[in-house]
Amino acid sequence: MPVLATPEQDGLELVASEVTAAVRSVDPAAIAAAADQIEGANRVFVFGQGRSGIALRGLAMRLMHLGHSAHVVGDATAPAIGTGDVLVLASGSGTTGSVVRAATAAAEAGAVVVAMTATADSPVGRAAARTITVAAAVKTDHGGTASAQYAGSLFEQAVMLVGDAVFHALWQRSGAAAEELWTRHANLE
Mean pLDDT for 81-89 is 98
What pLDDT, on the 0 to 100 scale, is given for residue 2? 58
Please check the confidence at residue 1 and state whether its pLDDT lies above 60: no
Please check the confidence at residue 5 and state whether its pLDDT lies above 80: no
Q: Is 1 exposed, middle or buried (0-12, 13-18, 19+ CB in 10 A)?
A: exposed
Taking only Cα atoms into account, the Rg of the chain, rounded to an integer number of angstroms, comes to 17
CA distances from 10 to 15, 16, 18, 111, 137 (A): 9, 10, 12, 44, 19
Quote the CA–CA distance of 21 and 3 in Å, as a whole number. 27
List phi, psi (to 5°) of 106: -65, -45
Q: For residue range 96-147, list pLDDT tens digits in order.
A: 999 999 999 999 999 999 999 999 999 999 999 999 999 998 777 777 778 9
Q: For residue range 156-188, list pLDDT tens digits in order.
A: 999 999 999 999 999 999 999 999 999 999 999
Residue ranges of alpha helices (H) inside the chain are 7-24, 28-39, 50-65, 97-108, 123-127, 153-174, 178-182
Percent of the chain exceeding pLDDT 90 equals: 85
Domains of the chain, start order: 28-177 (3.40.50.10490)
Which candidate in 156, 179, 180, 189 is catalytic?
Answer: 156
* Catalytic residue check, 156: yes
* Nearest residue to 125 (alpha-carbon basis) of 150, 103, 153, 146: 103
CA-CA-CA-CA dihedral for 28, 32, 37, 39, to nearest 10: 140
pTM of the predicted protein model: 0.93
Query: Residue 34: pLDDT band by 50, 70, 90 thresholds?
Result: very high
Please check the confidence at residue 19 and state whether its pLDDT lies above 70: yes
Average per-residue pLDDT for the chain: 94
Query: Which pairing describes strands 44-48 and 70-72: parallel, antiparallel, or unpaired?
Result: parallel
